[in-house]
Structures are given as C-alpha cells and as structure tokens.
C-alpha cells in the first residue's frame, strides 16, 4: 500500500511535518506512517573517570556501569519517542487524517528511512533537526544524506505550515526536473495550484522547446502554468522569485552533482533549501 | 554505500571530540611507563618501545578496524623477542617487526580473522591471565637485589595509584604516582635506578631507516619464527581486545580490517626503529573508561605520547624505576581475570583444564602463541569427546533368531568409531544382519572405514549384511555442508 512517510524528531519542525503530511494525505487519500528514530547513542556527555587506573575486575565493572547508563538513557529516549509520536498522531488526526501508523525505531536515520521507504509515495521531513536549531541558516545534517540515499520524492517542510496556492518549478532541463514535471502531471489532485515554470539562464532553442513541452504537459494535466526564462544566477533568481511572486512551494530536482564537487563549490540544492523559507519538494 | 561511508568516517573520527582528546591524554600518560617497561622486557633501549607506541597508535588509529581501541608496544609481543635481541641484536628485531607486519597484512587479506571463532572463552581467559602473569614476572628483576627503599617506593606508588582516585577522578593516578615518586626521589636524593639508567630515550622525532641486516636466506630463517609468533600473538591479542571493546561499547568492529591495520602499523614501525606491538587490553579499557570512543582517541594517545617524550625527555629520564614497577603491577592486576579463579569451581572441568593449560604453557614458554595453540587444541579434543557421546546402538533379534537389526543413532566420526565397533556382537551366529544408519551422521572417512570393517567381519562369520540409509547418513561427510540453502535441509540432517 502506498503511503506517506513522515520522519520526525521532536524538534519544532515536527508539527509542521505533520501538517504538510496531512495536506498531501488529504489530497491523495493516502495513509500516513510517522517514524521517529532513536539515533546512535550519544556518548559525549557521559560521566567520565580520568583516573587511568584499573583494579580488580575492572572490565566487568566498566561493562556493568556502561550497560546501566545506556539502559537508563534508552528507556528515557523511548519514553520521549513515544510521546513525540503520540503528539504527531494527535496532530494528524486534528488535521483530518484518520489512517495514521506510528513507528519507533532504533538505529541510524538514513538506514531506517531506507528500510521504510519502499511503500512510501513521498517522504516528508523537516528542514532542520533537533540539533541544528541554533542557527536558522544551518541545514539538518541528516537531510542531505537522506535525500542522497533515496529515490523517492522528498517533501522538505518549512518551519510552519501555510496554505499552498502557488508553486514554482525550477526547470533546468535535467533528468530530475523532467521527472518532476512528469510526476506532477500525473497528480491531478494538485491541479488547482498555480504553477510557475522557471528557467534561469540563457535558454538555447533546445531548452526553450523543452520548457514549452513541460508547460504543455502540465497544462494538459489541468494546471495553470506560467513559463518564464530569467537570465542570471540560479540561486539568487529563484530566491527572488519565491519572495516577489508569493510562492508557497518550490519544486526542483535534487543533488545533480557529486559530493566532491559540492565540497568545493557547494550544492545548488543545499543553497536553495537554505535561502527559501518555503517548503521544497525534491525529485531525484 | 557512498553516503554511509562519509557519515561513518565522520562519526568514527569526530563523533566524540572532547571525550576522545581527554581520554587520549590519559592513555598517553599511561602508555609512557608501559612502553618503557616493555622495551626493558625485550632488552632494548626505551626509545625503541616509545617510538613503536607512537607510530603504532597513530597508524592503527587510521587503518584499524576498531575505533577506540589502543594499540602500542605490548608485553605480549615484547616477551617473544627477548632471545632474538639477546642473540642477534636490535637490527634483527626491526627486520622481524617488518616481516611480522607483512604477515599480518596477508592474514587480513586472506580474511583469517574468522579463525578467531575457534578460540574459545576459556582459551581467551587463559591468554589474558597468562599475559597478566608475564607482565608481573617481568617486574621481578626490578624487585630482587635492590635497596630496601625500592620496596617502600613501590608500595607508596601502589598506594597512590589505588587510593588517589578516591580523592579525585579528574587526574590520572598513575601520573600522580610518577610525578610524586620522582619528586620524592630527587628531593631526598635517593639511590634508585631511574629510566635514564635503562638506555637511550628519544631525543628527536623518529626518522625512516632500513634495518641494517644482511638480506640473505639465513637472516630470513633467523627472524621467521619470531615474526610468525609476533604476527600470531599480535593478531590474537588485537582481535580479542577488539571483542572486549565491542562488548563494552555495544558497537561492532571490522576484524579483517583490524588485521590489515595492525600489519601496516607494524611494517611501518619497523622502518622507523620501533618494535612490534598490537592492541592492549588494559589501555583499551582505560581509554573506554576515560570516555574515549572514536579513532581520534587512539591518534591523540600516540601524538601526545611523542610530544611528551620529545619535550619532557630530561624529566622522563629521572623517573625512578620503582614508579614504573608500581604502574606495571597495577596493569597486571587489572588485566588478570580474577573471577576466573572463582569460576574454576563452577565451570565444567574441561573448560578449567583448557584455561589452566593455556596459562601454564605460556608461563613456561613465554610464548602466548604456543599457549593459545595448546588451548585451542585441547578444547577441540574435549569438544570431539563430548560430541562422540551423542551416539547409541540398539538392536533387535528377529523371532526365528536368525536375523538381527542394528539401529545406529547419533554422531559417527573418528572419536566414536571405537564405541561403534564394540557395539556389535560378532560371535552371534546369524543368517542376516541389517545395519540401519539412516538415523546416524557419518562425518568422516574413519567412520566409513569402520562401517566397512563391521560389514566385512559379519560376512566372515557367514552372515549376509545389508546397510540401510547409508546415502542419507553420509551426506554430512563433505567438508562443507552446501545444502543449507535448500528448504528443509537442516530438518533432514537433524531428523535422521
């Protein structure tokens, strides 16, 4: 059965993730599966013993001590996790979604998402996680890793849910963008939204043709589409457009380049996620 | 996968920066006396062990398969090299170190880490206990024919090490012991042997140099047995320590990568004038206890060690040996598995014999490899004996008393063939004998031969012999059971 996979961690984004998931769920009539991952054990804050001496039965003693510490932490984390999931379920129910399943898992978040994504139509995740909240321009470190490891569309929720009327599709003629157009055209449930099709740069005739093709495809599916070519630098132009045209949602292909290149010049996707204060759908 | 590779690299190195650096410092402080002490065990200058500890720790931090484990110059490998150093000198030791490293790399590439499964818990306990005894015995020369003030100093050192943590756990007590005893010795101008008396200390960073040995077959034959022993013991202790750290931190390690990592470290260490080493049980426990978890902790331990030695060499020279002896006694006591003595009463006799045999052989030969070999051999024999008892022969005589059916059940292999042969009554005059082996497992050629012999004997007595179920029973005779994938294969094996 296809469903929506909502990944939450108890940060302030969790509520927004639920709201966005509910928005999609109601339009597509899908059920929502909420996952909370109890991550790798945090070892940084444990009480340390720097005495450097080992006495009788040091190993057994240390093992007992560490196991007890982990056990009490795990119990606490599980309790908190269940509470987070309970809140999420309530929120989704309040948003009008009745079919909600919750999953509490141990492990690594990327691997967990990989385990659960097979039945998912789309994965909803917050732009930032618990640990990254101190800096509003800092992206969750898990986000890029999840986006890179999955082949499902990812809906990246912004801090707060706002009604969505207009979306901007950043079209670059690449595979991901073409895929995004195809996938959207197959979803008439969203046809009441206005689509802004945007190509940034100097479009060749070939690209112009592709852009028109994309526009036609979307129009056929019932979308109201405005296509536009704007010269300039992609990130700045898109960010401006989102601001000036009151765009509520950004749709784009994700991470077309290797990590090595991203290390040196940075990734357009990451910059866009940082710059735009609206939710983003990423297609790979 | 690419993504997972980067994230793992990140968490292994930078997952616990503060804890790793702090623990690395504590470990480095504890490594200095040990490296000096192990050099003295091997009969070389302290700088050989100190360079080795630096280089092994730093390289294994990068190449090893178990983050958070501490590797350096160790007692286990040092005791193996005593005679080599005494008879041929340091250069041969360096060459043997390089060769041992290369052998470990090959072992890792051949994925020999899996052999560890044959080393039972009892053998491991024996290994650890033997190691503790060797470390303690190595301190004895420092305690014989010395002025009585040495005993006072050692006792004072032990007092500081064990009692100081009751006061505060923020300063390593071995460090307090070293500083305290050194200050006392200098202040009172006590006549004690110091580290400076034991040989050269490092005065510079290590440099690359080739061991000065004739590259002949003869040289190879001299160092080969030492290298093989060092390689085997090094891997054993490293893999064992890795499982201990796995247990303590509830995480997993890559055993084959650890083998290759240890090999690379030893090879490189031989070329910068260091002696062979491996993972250290005691130090790894100290590291985990102090909060070290990642690769950074091992790297820091090695780095801090070298910095301290090169810049504080003048002070290190004046440390009285009594302080080192106290620390080594602490390491020996902490390494020994004390509960194993209590377990002697409760554990099965065979396990206790394996453990004690391992300890005895090691203490007698000063070679942990031989001890482990004997232990593994003994546990194999005990296991074969136990399994051979899962075997039964029952028989029924037909009503006219001319035919008998023998029903064989259980495990038929080299250790149970005697019982098998004795279960038949060849003196009974019968026309027909049926041997039903369809409920038996025939594991090897010995058992096939035994069955043939029984058939032959009955024929000689004039009976007609039929064997039932030989094909099913001998399915297990192949070395590797390749039929596990087939549905119901295990049930079939267990069933007959």
In this predicted model, which residue has the larger pLDDT, B485 or B12?
B12
pLDDT higher at B471 or B218: B218
Distance, C-alpha B410 to centroid of its chain:
35
The pTM assigned to this predicted structure is 0.76
d(CA B356, CA B360): 6
Q: Residue B6 pLDDT more than 50?
A: yes
Mean pLDDT of chain A: 82
Please say if the pLDDT value at position B157 is more than 90.
yes
Averaged confidence pLDDT in chain B: 88
Q: What is d(CA B358, CA B377) in angstroms, rounded to the nearest whole number? A: 10
Q: Which residue has the tokens 């963008």?
A: A177
Q: A52 vs B333: CB contact, 8 Å cut-off?
A: no
Q: For B318-324, what is the mean pLDDT? A: 89
Helix (H, G, I), strand (E, B) or coil at B214: coil
Q: How confident is the model at residue B53 (pLDDT cuts 50, 70, 90)?
A: very high
- What is the C-alpha separation between B113 and B258, in angstroms, rounded? 9
Res B493 pLDDT > 80? no
For residue A28, give the nearest of A52, A2, A49, A54 by alpha carbon. Answer: A2
Residues from chain B that touch A48, judged by Cβ atoms under 8 A, are 19, 22-23, 169, 289-291
Strand order in the sheet with B464-468: B391-397, B403-412, B432-442, B464-468
∠B45-B46-B52 over CA atoms, to 5°?
Answer: 105
Q: Which two tokens stand for residue A126?
A: 């917050």
| CB contacts, 8 Å: B330 with chain A | 53-55
* Residues of A whose CB is below 8 A from B23: 48, 50
Mean pLDDT value across residues B206-220: 87
Q: Residue B33: enclosing H or E segment and its boundaries?
A: helix B17-42
Q: What is the pLDDT of residues A183-212, one digit of tens each?
A: 888 888 888 889 999 888 887 888 888 888
CATH of the domain spanning B391-495, picked from 3.20.20.80, 3.40.228.10, 3.30.750.24, 3.40.50.720:
3.30.750.24
Per-residue tokens: B127: 């290994």
Integer Cα distance of A23 and A164 in angstroms: 9
Looking at residue A134, its pLDDT comes to: 45
Q: Do B171 and A40 touch (CB under 8 A)?
A: no
Q: Quote the minimal CA–CA distance from A249 to chain B in Å.
A: 27
Q: Answer yes or no: do B162 and A259 touch at CB < 8 A.
A: no
Give Cα B179 distance to the centre of its chain: 33
| Residue B1: per-residue pLDDT | 43
Please, which pLDDT band fits residue B183 given cuts at 50, 70 and 90? Answer: very high
For the stretch A85-108, pLDDT in tens is 999 999 999 988 888 999 888 877
* Residue of higher predicted confidence among A260 and B206: B206
> Between B204 and B366, whose confidence is greater?
B366
List CB contacts of B470: < 8 A, sequence separation 6 or more: B437, B442, B451
Taking the domains of chain B in order of start, what are their residue ranges?
A: 10-341, 391-495
- Top residue of A49, A51, A107 to mutate, by most chain B CBs within 10 Å, is A51
Per-residue pLDDT, B117:
85
More confident position, A65 or B71: B71
What's the CA dihedral at B381, B383, B387, B388 to 10 degrees?
10
**How many pairs of residues across A and B have Cβ atoms under 8 Å apart?**
112
Does B180 reach chain A within 8 Å, measured CB to CB? no
Question: Percent of chain B at pLDDT above 70?
Answer: 95
To the nearest whole Å, the CA of B295 is away from the closest chain A CA by 14
Sheet-wide strand order for A100-106: A100-106, A31-38, A3-8, A120-126, A154-157, A280-283, A249-253, A166-170, A194-200, A224-230
Beta carbons within 10 angstroms of residue A122's beta carbon: 22
CA atoms within 13 A on the CB side of B299: 15
The number of beta carbons lying within 10 Å of the beta carbon of residue B400 is 7
* Across B432-442, average pLDDT: 88
How does DSSP assign B161-211, residue by residue?
HHHHHHH-SSS-HHHHHHHHHHHHHHHHT----BGGGGS----S-------
Residues of A at the B interface, defined by Cβ within 8 angstroms: 40-41, 43-44, 46, 48-60, 62-63, 66-67, 70, 108, 110-111, 145, 148-149, 259
Q: What are the residues whose beta carbons fall under 8 Å from the beta carbon of B450, sequence distance 6 or more?
A: B412, B417, B420, B421
pLDDT for A138: 47
| pLDDT at residue B490, as a whole number | 58
Using alpha carbons, select from B354, B331, B342 the residue that is nearest to residue B125.
B354
Buried b or exposed e, range B196-219, using 16+ CB within 10 angstroms: eebbebbeeebeeeebebeeeeeb
**Domains of chain A (ranges, CATH numbers):** 3-41+76-157 (3.40.50.620), 166-283 (3.40.50.620)
* pLDDT for B495: 54
- The answer to whether B64 contacts chain A (CB < 8 Å) is no
Nearest to B82 by CA among B50, B43, B139, B136: B43
Average pLDDT over residues A246-267: 69
pLDDT, average across residues B82-111: 94
> What's the mean pLDDT in A213-232?
89
């Amino acid at each position: 059965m296809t469903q929506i996979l909502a990944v939450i961690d108890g940060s302030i984004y969790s509520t927004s993730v639920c709201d966005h998931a509910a928005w999609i769920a109601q339009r597509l009539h899908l059920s929502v599966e909420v996952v909370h991952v109890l991550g790798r054990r945090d070892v940084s804050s444990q009480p340390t013993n720097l005495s450097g001496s080992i006495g009788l039965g040091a190993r057994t003693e240390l093992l007992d001590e560490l196991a007890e510490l982990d056990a009490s932490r795990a119990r606490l984390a599980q309790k908190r996790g269940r509470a987070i999931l309970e809140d999420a379920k309530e929120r989704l129910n309040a948003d009008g979604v009745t079919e909600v399943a919750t999953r509490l898992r141990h492990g690594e978040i990327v691997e967990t998402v990989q385990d659960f994504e097979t039945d998912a139509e789309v994965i909803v995740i917050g732009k930032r996680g618990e640990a990254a909240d101190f800096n509003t321009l800092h992206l969750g470190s898990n986000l890029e890793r999840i986006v890179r490891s999955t082949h499902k569309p990812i809906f990246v929720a912004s801090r707060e849910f706002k009604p969505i009327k207009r979306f901007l599709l950043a079209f670059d003629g690449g595979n991901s963008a073409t895929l995004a157009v195809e996938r959207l055209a197959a979803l008439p449930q969203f046809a009441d939204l206005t689509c802004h099709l945007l190509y940034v740069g100097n479009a060749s005739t070939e690209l112009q043709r592709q852009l028109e093709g994309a526009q036609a495809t979307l129009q056929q599916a019932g979308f109201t589409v405005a296509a536009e070519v704007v010269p300039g630098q992609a990130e700045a132009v898109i960010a401006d457009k989102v601001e000036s045209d009151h765009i509520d949602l950004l749709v784009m292909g994700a991470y077309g380049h290797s990590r090595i290149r991203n290390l040196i010049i940075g990734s357009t996707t990451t910059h866009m996620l940082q710059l735009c204060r609206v939710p983003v759908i990423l297609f790979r | 996968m690419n993504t997972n590779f980067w994230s793992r690299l990140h968490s292994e190195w930078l997952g616990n920066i503060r804890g790793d650096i702090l623990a690395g410092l504590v470990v480095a402080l504890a490594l200095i006396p040990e490296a000096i002490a192990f050099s003295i065990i091997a009969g070389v200058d302290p700088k050989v062990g100190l360079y080795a500890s630096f280089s092994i720790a730093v390289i294994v931090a990068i190449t090893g398969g178990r983050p958070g484990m501490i590797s350096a110059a160790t007692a286990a490998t040092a005791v193996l090299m005593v005679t080599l150093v005494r008879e041929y000198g340091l250069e041969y030791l360096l060459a043997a170190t390089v060769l041992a490293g290369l052998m470990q790399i090959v072992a890792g590439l051949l994925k020999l880490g899996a052999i560890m499964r044959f080393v039972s818990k009892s053998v491991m306990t024996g290994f650890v206990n033997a190691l503790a005894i060797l470390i303690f015995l190595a301190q004895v020369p420092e305690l014989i024919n010395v002025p009585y003030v040495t005993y006072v100093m050692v006792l004072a050192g032990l007092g500081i090490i064990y009692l100081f943590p009751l006061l505060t756990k923020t300063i390593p007590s071995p460090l307090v012991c070293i500083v305290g005893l050194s200050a006392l010795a200098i202040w009172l101008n006590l006549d004690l042997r110091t580290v400076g008396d034991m040989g050269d200390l490092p005065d510079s960073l290590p440099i690359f140099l080739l061991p000065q040995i004739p590259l002949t077959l003869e040289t190879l034959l001299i160092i080969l047995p030492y290298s093989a022993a060092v390689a085997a013991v090094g891997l054993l202790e490293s893999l064992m320590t890795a499982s201990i750290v796995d247990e303590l931190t509830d995480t997993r390690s890559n055993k084959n990568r650890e083998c290759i990592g240890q090999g690379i470290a030893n090879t490189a260490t031989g070329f910068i004038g260091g002696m062979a080493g491996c993972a250290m049980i005691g130090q790894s426990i100290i590291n985990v206890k102090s909060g070290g978890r990642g690769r950074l902790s091992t790297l820091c331990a090695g780095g801090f060690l070298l910095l301290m030695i090169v810049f504080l060499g003048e002070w290190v020279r004046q440390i009285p040996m009594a302080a080192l002896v106290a620390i080594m006694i602490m390491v020996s006591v902490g390494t020994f598995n004390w509960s194993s003595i209590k377990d002697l009463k409760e554990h099965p006799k065979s396990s206790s014999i394996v453990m004690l045999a391992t300890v005895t052989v090691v203490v007698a030969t000063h070679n942990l490899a031989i001890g482990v070999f004997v232990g593994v051999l003994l546990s194999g024999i005990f296991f074969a004996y136990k399994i051979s008892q899962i075997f039964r022969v029952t028989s029924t005589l037909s009503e006219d008393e001319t035919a008998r059916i023998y029903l064989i059940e259980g495990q038929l292999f080299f250790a149970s063939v005697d019982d098998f042969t004795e279960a038949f009554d060849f003196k009974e005059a019968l026309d027909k004998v049926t041997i039903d082996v369809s409920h038996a497992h025939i594991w090897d050629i010995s058992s096939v031969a035994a069955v043939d012999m029984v058939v032959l004997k009955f024929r000689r007595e004039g009976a007609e012999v039929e064997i039932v179920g030989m094909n099913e029973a001998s399915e297990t005779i192949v070395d590797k059971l390749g039929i596990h994938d087939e549905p119901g294969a295990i049930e079939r094996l267990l069933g007959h």
